[in-house]
């Protein structure tokens, strides 16, 4: 074997073993206790995550995150069992999208009560997805869950991403868990297909007026950090800037196609998702300003 060939082969082997120059892949799932709390956890599987809270009277779990991957749900349950012997009393859906709520049957079989916004239940009953548990109970504008010494407030702030979004607020811990409409330090993506632009701005102003300090998002943020009010404010600024830019294009008759190619928001080009997702943001605002929807 020539020396050059040997070097190439060793190089290829090193890439295989070390995974090449790309950053090491993160493990498929992880459970993390939220710093500074006694009992608040984040369960991540792949690129989705859910919060669960362990109390002396049982566990409050949220989104099953089992869309197309039932093993995420069984793993979620196993991970809870590693932390506590308490049964899961509740599973609370953040909103009705299957990528967050499908797959909950193992929780149901173990006796959990499922809660969601009333609009989520209505939709799920119509769509009859075989993999998604229909909620047992619903929330209209707000509801308080008290379990052990934990208080969890479920709050509906109106239309934003979907018409069924709950903010789950732990007032003592000053933590909220809410999904998809406040991406932390990144652009929203295809989920813009179910987004209410004008109402979402009002929702963000309302969530900013609530008493919380940390936000657990439904998809991990860059660096796995939690969100802050500054992130919510930044998301509002981003949406307002996108809206204003697309409004101009729309009134020049450029929706859909030219606008999707031409609208740029360089202020946000460093945010993850900028290259791939700006088109979906533009499309949604073209719907608003170019079609009136
Ligand atoms: Zn969603």
Q: By C-alpha distance, which of 210, 196, 127 is closest to 165?
A: 196
| Dist. CA 219–CA 191, nearest whole Å | 12
Q: CB of 95 within 8 A of CB of 104?
A: no
Share of the chain above pLDDT 90, in %: 91
Chain segment 100-142, per-residue pLDDT in tens? 999 999 999 999 999 999 999 999 999 999 999 999 999 999 9
Mean pLDDT, residues 88-95: 99
Output the pLDDT for position 3: 52
Output the pLDDT for position 39: 98
The pLDDT confidence band at residue 165, using thresholds 50, 70 and 90, is: very high
Which H or E element spans position 262? helix 257-262
| Order of strands, sheet of 166-170, starting from the edge strand that comes earlier in the sequence | 142-147, 150-156, 166-170, 175-177, 214-216
**Ligand 1 centroid – CA 180 distance (Å):** 5
**Ligand 1 centroid – CA 12 distance (Å):** 41
Mean pLDDT, residues 237-258: 98
| Dist. CA 72–CA 97, nearest whole Å | 16
**Ligand 1 centroid – CA 293 distance (Å):** 19
| Dist. CA 182–CA 95, nearest whole Å | 13
Mean pLDDT, residues 23-28: 76
Residue 16: pLDDT above 80? no
**Ligand 1 centroid – CA 5 distance (Å):** 50
Calculate the average pLDDT of the chain: 93
| Dist. CA 279–CA 259, nearest whole Å | 9
Counting other chains too, the contacts that 48-53 makes at CB distance below 8 Å and 24 or more residues apart are 48/72, 48/99, 48/100, 48/218, 48/219, 49/216, 49/217, 49/218, 49/219, 49/220, 50/76, 50/100, 50/177, 50/218, 51/168, 51/177, 51/216, 52/80, 52/88, 53/147, 53/150, 53/152, 53/170
**Ligand 1 centroid – CA 156 distance (Å):** 15
Output the pLDDT for position 6: 52
Residue 196 CB-half CA count within 13 A: 14
**Ligand 1 centroid – CA 178 distance (Å):** 10
The pLDDT confidence band at residue 26, using thresholds 50, 70 and 90, is: confident
279 CB-contact burial (10 Å; exposed 0-12 / middle 13-18 / buried 19+):
middle
DSSP class of residue 35? T
Check the CA dihedral 178-181-183-188 and report its sign: positive
Which pTM value belongs to this model?
0.91
């Amino acid at each position: 074997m020539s020396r050059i060939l040997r070097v190439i082969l060793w190089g290829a082997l090193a890439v295989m073993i070390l995974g090449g120059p790309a950053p090491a892949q993160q493990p498929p799932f992880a459970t993390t206790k939220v710093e500074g709390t006694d009992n608040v956890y984040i369960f991540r599987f792949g690129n989705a995550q859910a919060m669960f809270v362990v109390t002396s009277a049982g566990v409050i779990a949220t989104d099953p995150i089992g869309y197309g991957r039932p093993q995420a749900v069984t793993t979620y349950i196993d991970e809870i069992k590693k932390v506590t012997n308490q049964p899961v009393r509740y599973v609370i859906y953040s909103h009705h999208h299957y990528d967050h709520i499908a797959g909950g049957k193992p929780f149901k079989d173990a006796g959990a009560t499922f809660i969601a916004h009333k609009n989520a239940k209505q939709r799920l009953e119509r769509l009859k997805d075989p993999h998604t548990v229909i909620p047992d109970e619903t929330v209209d504008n707000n509801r308080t869950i008290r379990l052990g010494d934990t208080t969890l407030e479920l709050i509906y702030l109106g239309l934003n991403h979907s018409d069924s979004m709950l903010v789950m607020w732990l007032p003592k811990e000053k933590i909220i868990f809410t999904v998809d409409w406040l991406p932390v330090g990144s652009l929203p993506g295809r989920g813009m297909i179910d987004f209410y632009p004008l109402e979402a701005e009002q929702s963000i102003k309302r969530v900013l007026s609530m008493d919380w300090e940390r936000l657990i998002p439904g998809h991990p943020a860059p660096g796995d950090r939690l969100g802050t009010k500054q992130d919510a404010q930044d998301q509002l600024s981003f949406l307002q800037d996108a809206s204003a830019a697309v409004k101009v294009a729309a009134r020049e008759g450029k929706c859909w196609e030219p606008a999707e190619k031409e609208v740029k928001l360089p202020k946000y080009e460093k945010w993850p998702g900028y290259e791939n997702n700006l088109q979906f943001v533009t499309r949604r605002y073209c719907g608003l300003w170019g079609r009136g929807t």
